[in-house]
Amino acid sequence: MHESPSCWKIWRVASLQNHHRALELPGHVETHTPESTHPTHEQITRTSLEAHQTLMTVNPDNVARFKDVTQFLAEDLKTLGKDA
């Protein structure tokens, strides 16, 4: 059975979200108020990438968990940049 790219992307994002349930966060987590109540896809992707990179920095165990996520988000940002 051939799945469309959008189905694959939805499945991929859903499976990556499962990693968030096992997060180990540091004692102090900085929060930020969003700049807009209607962020663009690019803003959401960039923020998600930065958040995952931070999680990998604060806990080396997260590198294995989020390596694929950060790669996926970085590639998505490149594609979004080409569309602009």
Q: 8 lies in a domain? A: no
**pLDDT of amino acid 82:** 76
- In angstroms, rounded to a whole number, what is the distance separating the alpha carbons of residues 55 and 78? 21
Q: 6 lies in a domain? A: no
Mean pLDDT of 67-81: 93
**pLDDT of amino acid 66:** 95
pLDDT in tens, 30-65: 666 666 678 889 999 999 999 999 999 999 999 999
- In angstroms, rounded to a whole number, what is the distance separating the alpha carbons of residues 73 and 71? 6
Q: Is the pLDDT of residue 3 over 50?
A: no
- Tally of domains in the chain: 1
**pLDDT of amino acid 2:** 46
- Answer yes or no: are the C-beta atoms of 56 and 63 closer than 8 Å: yes
- Who contacts 26 (Cβ-Cβ below 8 Å, separation ≥6)? 58, 59
**pLDDT of amino acid 1:** 44
Q: 67 lies in a domain? A: yes
